[in-house]
């Protein structure tokens, strides 16, 4: 049996800079894979190649056994949710979700019905006639997700979707994205540079630096068996420092209460 998605030797050069260096990985249906790595390591470039906004220098992408690496973006069955949501500010919530559906022959007739259904499922039913600027950041994020879900993509790509939100909203949205994933059994590739986010949400994590994969494994395996110094420092040490800070903070709360 082949894998649901199979990426082989994916390579991208901008000018004379190798931005992605022969990246290989596979993804199973229903899996939540996070891509974790420092700024500039090639995370967004990877997503752009997968969805076909940019063309790779070499390498292939297979989905369900079919080589999609030369296909037009609209034929790849992938959806993307950006950090800045990319919503239309002058349209209502409903119009935003309906918009993309109206350009798809198979959904055109039922665009409104599908949009209403998805908006109800993500808890935005009472906001459908509001303009985008009348909604909170978290609600806007949910609309962006609803709009992508409505098109029933085989794979949903997220590019740091929560980085514009405050800490409280970020925690809520983490849970909601996981809930939506379960509900739709979505296959997700989720970019983040937040170690905690990757650890709390993912089935597997791909740790990247400088255009290549340092390690790809389950959170627990990465934590217990970092493959090299980069993974140890960027992931394990970082999480341990956070945990220790938290403990110190709890101790000082304790002491103050006495
Ligand atoms: N269109 C482009 N032309 C030239 N270089 C580019 C282009 N797009 C990206 N790069 C370079 O490729 C490298 C990887 O960029 P990319 O946006 O994929 O990083 P990233 O991991 O998403 O970073 P961040 O966490 O800051 O979003 C960077 O050095 C960037 O400057
Ligand atoms: Mg990026």
88 Cβ closer than 6 Å to some ligand 1 atom: no
Cα angle, residue 241 at apex, residues 240 and 246 outer, rounded to 5°: 95
Under a CB-based contact definition with an 8 Å cutoff, are residues 63 and 157 in contact?
no
pLDDT at 122: 85
- Whose CA is closest to atom 19 on ligand 1? 40
Confidence (pTM): 0.92
pLDDT at 236: 95
Pairing of strands 32-36, 188-192: parallel
Q: What is the pLDDT of residues 110-169, one digit of tens each?
A: 999 999 999 998 889 999 999 998 998 888 988 999 999 898 899 999 999 888 888 888
Q: Has residue 1 got a pLDDT over 70?
A: no
Torsion-angle region of residue 185: left (phi > 0), alpha (psi -120 to 50) or beta?
left
* CA 212 – ligand 1 centroid, Å: 13
- Whose CA is closest to atom 28 on ligand 1? 40
* CA 216 – ligand 1 centroid, Å: 21
* CA 41 – ligand 1 centroid, Å: 7
Q: What is the pLDDT of residues 210-229, one digit of tens each?
A: 999 999 999 999 999 999 99
Which chain residues have CB less than 5 Å from ligand 2, an ion? 43-44
Q: What is the pLDDT of residues 182-196, one digit of tens each?
A: 988 899 999 998 999
Pairing of strands 204-209, 212-217: antiparallel
- Whose CA is closest to atom 8 on ligand 1? 45
Q: What is the pLDDT of residues 39-51, one digit of tens each?
A: 999 999 999 999 9
Q: In 10 A of CB 200, how many CB atoms?
A: 14
The span from the CA of 254 to the CA of 258, in Å, is 7
* CA 206 – ligand 1 centroid, Å: 17
């Amino acid at each position: 049996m082949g894998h649901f998605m199979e990426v082989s030797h994916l390579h991208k050069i901008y000018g004379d800079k190798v931005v992605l260096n022969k990246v290989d990985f596979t993804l199973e249906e229903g899996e939540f894979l996070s891509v974790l790595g420092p700024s500039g390591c090639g995370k967004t470039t990877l997503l752009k190649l997968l969805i076909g906004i940019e063309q790779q220098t070499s390498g292939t992408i297979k989905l369900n056994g079919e080589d999609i690496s030369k296909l037009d973006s609209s034929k790849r069955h992938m959806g993307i949710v950006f950090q800045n949501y990319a919503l239309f500010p002058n349209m209502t919530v409903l119009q935003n979700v309906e918009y993309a559906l109206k350009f798809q022959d198979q959904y055109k007739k039922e665009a409104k019905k599908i949009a209403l259904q998805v908006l109800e499922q993500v808890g935005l039913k009472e906001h459908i006639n509001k303009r985008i600027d009348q909604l909170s950041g978290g609600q806007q994020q949910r609309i962006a997700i609803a709009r992508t879900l409505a098109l029933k993509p085989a794979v949903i790509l997220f590019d740091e979707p929560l980085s514009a939100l405050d800490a409280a909203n970020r925690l809520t949205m983490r849970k909601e994205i996981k809930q939506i994933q379960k509900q739709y059994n979505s296959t997700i590739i989720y970019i983040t540079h937040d170690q905690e986010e990757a650890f709390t949400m993912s089935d597997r994590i791909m740790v990247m630096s400088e255009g290549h994969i340092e390690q790809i494994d389950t959170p627990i395996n990465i934590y217990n068996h970092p493959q090299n110094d980069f993974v140890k420092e960027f992931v394990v040490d970082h999480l341990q420092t956070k945990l220790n800070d938290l403990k110190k903070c709890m101790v000082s709360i304790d002491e103050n209460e006495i």
